[in-house]
Amino acid sequence: MKKYIFLLLFYPVLSFSQERIFLIGNVFDGVTFFPVKEANIYNFSSKMYSFTDKDGNFEILVRAGDTLIVSKQIYKQEIIIINQDNINKKQINISLFYRTILLKEVFVYALPETYDKFKKDFANTNFSDYVKGIEGTTISDAERTQYSTQNGLLGLIPGKAGQAIRSPITFLYETFSRRAKMGRLYQELMDNQDEVDNLPLKYNRELVMSLTGLDGEDLLDFMTFCKFSYYELVKWSPEFIITQVKRKYDDYEFYKAIESN
């Protein structure tokens, strides 16, 4: 009988601990610190969902142990396990980082979609007399005979060491086509994937706040002043990032002092 009385006494406490509360959150870009609007926050445990407003803010019912899935197109999905600290504070900040990062500027040339069409267009191009008159571009009769014998009218150009020689048409297409450019960028991204994955660990809002003491609108104003890029942060070491943040903060304070006078 005493055992049942004990359980009944504690039942309200157990029930209360399982009740969901409204959690207020903010979702922001992990590099610029700008708010991410229209991000989807899905509570996998309760099947409830919410969306961020233009300031990156949202509200959702949660309890300790719930799993939140935060997603937005072009960003990596973030999975949050709600703990008791989140429940006590009734607040959470979530940073999102790009799913893929273009590590270099892309120059897109208006080339035909396929290699065969590019080859036909190139072969039928009428170059100006100026281009034809550039020193060193004229093909002698002997060279023309040699190239024609080897590999057709347009001849060949050497590839890199260990590579097969390629025609100038193939060389131009591979050099300037958008698909080839994107392929090389993707390979560079894969080569640096570890650094991309580690970016949230070596650069985040907590780090910048601890180095500058800024928060809220002042922090966002400072990050706008910094203008760090994903490419820079991926390449920089954690130590160099700290150095750059401190240097930028000194510049920022100097700028604010001048602005206030």
Given a cut of 50, whether residue 184 has pLDDT beyond it is yes
Q: What is the mean pLDDT of the chain?
A: 76
**In this predicted structure, what is the pLDDT of residue 155?**
45
Asked if 246 and 204 touch (Cβ cutoff 8 Å), the reply is no
Distance of CA 43 to the CA centre of its chain: 25
**Is pTM beyond 0.75 here?**
no
Contact assessment for residue 166 and residue 196, using Cβ atoms and an 8 Å cutoff? no
Tell whether the model's pLDDT for residue 22 goes beyond 60: yes
What distance in Å separates the CA atoms of residue 25 and residue 204, rounded to the nearest whole number?
17
Q: pLDDT, tens digit, for every residue of 35-64?
A: 999 999 999 999 999 999 999 999 999 999
State the average pLDDT over residues 12-20.
Answer: 58
CA distance linking residue 108 with residue 123, whole number of Å:
22
Of 132-141, 210-219, 234-243, minimum mean pLDDT range: 132-141
pLDDT above 70 for 16: no
- Output 71 or 187, whichever has higher pLDDT: 71
Report whether CATH 3.40.190.10 matches the domain 20-96. Answer: no
C-alpha 261/C-alpha 249 separation (Å) is: 19
Region 153-170 average pLDDT: 50
Residues of each domain in the chain carrying CATH 2.60.40.1120: 20-96
Average pLDDT over residues 179-207: 75
pLDDT given at position 194:
76
Q: Tell me: the pLDDT tens digits for 102-138?
A: 444 444 445 555 656 656 666 666 655 545 555 555 5
Residue 230 is predicted with a pLDDT of 84
